[in-house]
């Protein structure tokens, strides 16, 4: 779904990060281009592409509109149930934040469903704050019903 809806380009501004379990143990951070014999235990998406016009970056998705989401945008964080509460999500978030910093950003945005209290608490502990949407974010949230927008400063460390 992600690969089809959010095509990855060679510009170094859009990443699909994967945590995997291998012989080195859960959550290895070693960079690899192949997943042979590795069990995916978590993943996320970080999109730092800056829209160049009023066209939507969602043009291939079912959400096709003229709405731009905030950037850089962190999304689709998931961790296999057997590997939760072991630092996998934190490692993925740290890598996404490092990549956003490497793109020159000072903040990272993400959306969380209003009813996902555990995620909202976790992001709050990590320094993310709920924001009052404005501009394009309002239109983005009209598409993404029941989502709270959060923003974290990347220089908080």
**Which pLDDT band, with edges at 50, 70 and 90, does 62 fall under?**
very low
Q: What's the distance, CA 109 to chain centroid?
A: 8
Q: Is 17 helix (H, G, I), strand (E, B) or coil?
A: strand
- Alpha-carbon distance of 143 to 145, in angstroms, equals 6
By the 8 A CB rule, do 18 and 46 touch? no
Structure tokens at 56: 């939507």
- Alpha-carbon distance of 65 to 142, in angstroms, equals 11
| pLDDT score, position 52 | 64
Listing DSSP states for 97-128 in one string gives: HHHHHHTT-SEEEEEEETT-HHHHHHHHHTT-
**Which pLDDT band, with edges at 50, 70 and 90, does 37 fall under?**
confident
Mean pLDDT computed over every residue of the chain: 78
Q: Which of 32-46, 85-99, 111-125 has the lowest mean pLDDT?
A: 32-46
- Highest mean pLDDT, choosing among 31-40, 103-112, 143-152: 103-112
- The answer on pLDDT for 16 being more than 50 is yes
Sheet with strand 147-153: strands edge to edge = 25-28, 14-22, 39-47, 73-79, 107-113, 147-153, 129-130
By the 8 A CB rule, do 154 and 100 touch? yes
- The answer on pLDDT for 30 being more than 70 is no
Question: Phi and psi of 129, rounded to 5°?
Answer: -120, 145
Mean pLDDT of 82-97: 95
Percent over 90 (pLDDT), the chain: 45
* CB atoms closer than 10 angstroms to residue 155: 7
pTM of the model as a whole: 0.76
């Amino acid at each position: 779904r992600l690969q089809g809806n959010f095509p990855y380009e060679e510009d170094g501004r859009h990443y699909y990060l994967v945590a995997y379990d291998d012989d080195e143990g859960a959550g290895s951070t070693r960079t690899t281009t192949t997943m042979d014999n590795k069990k995916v235990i978590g993943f996320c998406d970080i999109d730092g592409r800056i829209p160049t016009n009023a066209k939507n970056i969602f043009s291939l998705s079912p959400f096709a509109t003229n709405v731009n989401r905030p950037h850089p945008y962190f999304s689709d964080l998931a961790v296999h149930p057997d590997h939760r509460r072991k630092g996998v999500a934190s490692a993925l978030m740290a890598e996404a934040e490092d990549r956003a910093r490497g793109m020159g950003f000072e903040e990272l945005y993400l959306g969380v469903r209003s009813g996902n209290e555990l995620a909202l608490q976790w992001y709050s502990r990590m320094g993310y704050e709920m924001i009052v949407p404005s501009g394009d974010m309002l239109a983005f949230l009209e598409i993404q019903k029941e989502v709270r927008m959060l923003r974290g400063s990347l220089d908080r460390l």
